[in-house]
Amino acid sequence: MNTKIFVLDDEPDILHLVTLHLERAGFSVNGYAEAKGFVQSLKHRKPDLIILDLMLPDADGFELCRSIKNDAGTSKIPIIMLTAKGQESDKVTGLDLGADDYITKPFAPRELVARVRAVLRRSGHQFEGPVTIGDSLMIDPERFEVKTSAGSIRLTQAEFKILYLLASNRGRVFSREKILDHLWGNEKAVLDRTVDVHIKNLRDKLGEAGKLVTNFRGVGYKLEE
């Protein structure tokens, strides 16, 4: 899935843990340790959901939530507060400011992922379903699983996103530029040949099913049955 989540938390271990489990669940994640970088990114790209710590070194989480919800450009972005502030008054304040959920630390990563999905569904987000191509290939974005006739295979996040993009639009040719934009938007300056490397690795891992991914010379890549 191409669901983008911004995570703002100044604790490196927590930021890593949240990012790891969300990416394993198939989400695309941008992590921030300071509010400054987070706010700057928010000006250029709107995520599908925000996970927000309240105790930050350079901002007050409550005020940041208020600012996001009072801005017409970001007010509809769901916010989950993830914090060590567990008093009932803090939770009430957060929800009153417009937060869609409130999770206290310590937390169970699987519960966090479930809460993220629940909030996204409530906000009208539609999750993509599995894509099946005959007996050759099955791609499940909810479980981040890929199976071929030879069994399950492990892909990197970038490889998975490329495969799901091509498989969901069978027969359509995607240029390298379009694929790069799908992977990273305008956030990373990478070379076109990066796509070629990902495609080669993807084909190798898919084995026989790798033949489904073809190069349309001078244009880009597509997946055909």
Asked whether 221 and 183 are in contact (CB, 8 A), the reply is no
pLDDT at 187: 52
Distance CA 209, CA 29 (A): 28
pLDDT at 27: 86
- Give Cα 188 to chain centroid, integer Å: 15
pLDDT at 41: 94
| E strand spans, the chain | 4-8, 28-32, 49-52, 79-83, 101-104, 131-133, 137-140, 145-148, 151-153, 174-175, 213-216, 220-223
Q: What is the CATH number of domain 131-223?
A: 1.10.10.10
Q: What is the CATH number of domain 4-122?
A: 3.40.50.2300
Facing residues of 133 across strands? Answer: 137
- Give Cα 22 to chain centroid, integer Å: 7
pLDDT at 188: 52
pLDDT at 127: 66
pLDDT at 125: 76
Residues in the chain with pLDDT values less than 50: none
pLDDT at 2: 66
Distance CA 61, CA 63 (A): 5
pTM of the model: 0.62
